[in-house]
Amino acid sequence: MQLYNKLSAKERAELIEKAGQDRLTLSFYQYAKIKNPHEFRDQLFLVWDKLDVLGRIYVANEGINGQLSLPAENFEAFKTHLDTIDFLKDIRLNIAVEQDNMSFLKLKVKVRPKIVADGLNDETFDVTNKGVHVAADKFNELIEDENTVLVDMRNHYESEIGHFKNAITPDVDTFRESLDIIEDDLKEHKEDKNLVMYCTGGIRCEKASAYFKHKGFKNVYQLEGGIIEYTRQVKEENLENKFLGQNFVFDDRRAERISDDVIANCHQCGEPFDVHTNCANEACHLLFIQCPKCKEEMENCCSTACMEINRLPYEEQKELRKGQGNSNDIFKKGRADHLPYKKDLRNIFEHFKK
């Protein structure tokens, strides 16, 4: 049985180009009890590989989290397969706002301890006691209410390029960091405010809403389907779009344009710009925002040091990387010290304490 990829990303890209088929990029998640995630993982890989599914799927005892693409003509077959699995029958699939045939180039189905790294002990609270799911129209009403605190449950590099009007955007690198920060900074408003949360597709809010209810927040809401589903409903129902900028996504597209607003800046020159790139030096690979002018001048690198390394012959670069591991900067996601216009660190909850 083939339970792994046989083609490189380059080979797969060539096949996709040659096939000339339109592909759909989509995402979904579901919390459910999976007794044997390894066996379940293998079953998924065997079926989805035949349907030419590509993407990144995490399976755990607590459920499944998937971001993937597949030929549009295979969508119904894919949906039919999901419907054969009890806890995935009729599941909502978040179809990407912007499509790109090259959004994923490999099928990776991985077994993980959790489908989202939240750092929580699920045995200490009722994970099924979730917040109220609200659609786009109700969400728009709630976030205009003076008794609402709107919180972005994503990381700083995601909210930097796009977020909802008047949202609190925690300055964190990981989801798990945000939970205690939010609970501590909003502890005085557990009963007198509506706590409204949103994320990319809804999965982070699903667990966070139960956690905050456990922590004593009385009025907890979450945006159904996240930013992706919100955008679809806004278009279909002709609602006011209250999202500014781009929605960061975890595939090769990196972002979807939701509004024409550009709310971020190039990390190297400070000009308005909101497209992320990775440093061309593979030993660095830092994710940061770089405008076209700086990309050309810096040769797609984040620093002159990286540019000099990237100019070396490939074999010399490989020798330099031996035994070095990843640069610590790779985890800073655009906040490396050498970027003069990196996102400012600030207490984004301060105005709620006044």
Can you tell me the distance from the alpha carbon of 155 to that of 162, in angstroms, rounded to the nearest whole number? Answer: 11
The predicted structure's pLDDT at residue 354: 47
| Residue carrying structure tokens 């979904």 | 28
Name the β-bridge partners of 67: 27, 56
- E-strand spans in the chain? 23-31, 54-60, 63-71, 94-95, 107-111, 132-134, 148-152, 162-164, 194-198, 219-223, 243-248, 255-257, 276-278, 287-289
Find, among 236, 93, 231, the residue nearest to 164 by Cα.
231
Residues belonging to the active site:
199
The predicted structure's pLDDT at residue 337: 87
Domains of the chain, earliest start first? 9-111 (3.30.70.100), 122-237 (3.40.250.10)
Is the pTM higher than 0.85? The answer reads: yes
pLDDT tens digits, the chain, 354 residues: what are they?
667 788 888 999 999 999 999 999 999 999 999 999 999 999 999 999 999 999 999 999 999 999 999 999 999 999 999 999 999 999 999 999 999 999 999 999 999 999 998 988 888 888 889 999 999 999 999 999 999 999 999 999 999 999 999 999 999 988 999 999 999 999 999 999 999 999 999 999 999 999 999 999 999 999 999 999 999 999 999 999 999 999 999 898 999 999 999 999 999 999 999 999 999 998 899 999 999 999 999 999 999 999 999 999 989 988 888 877 665 555 568 888 899 998 765 555 554 554
Helices (H), 216-344: 226-237, 292-297, 304-310, 314-321
The predicted structure's pLDDT at residue 7: 84
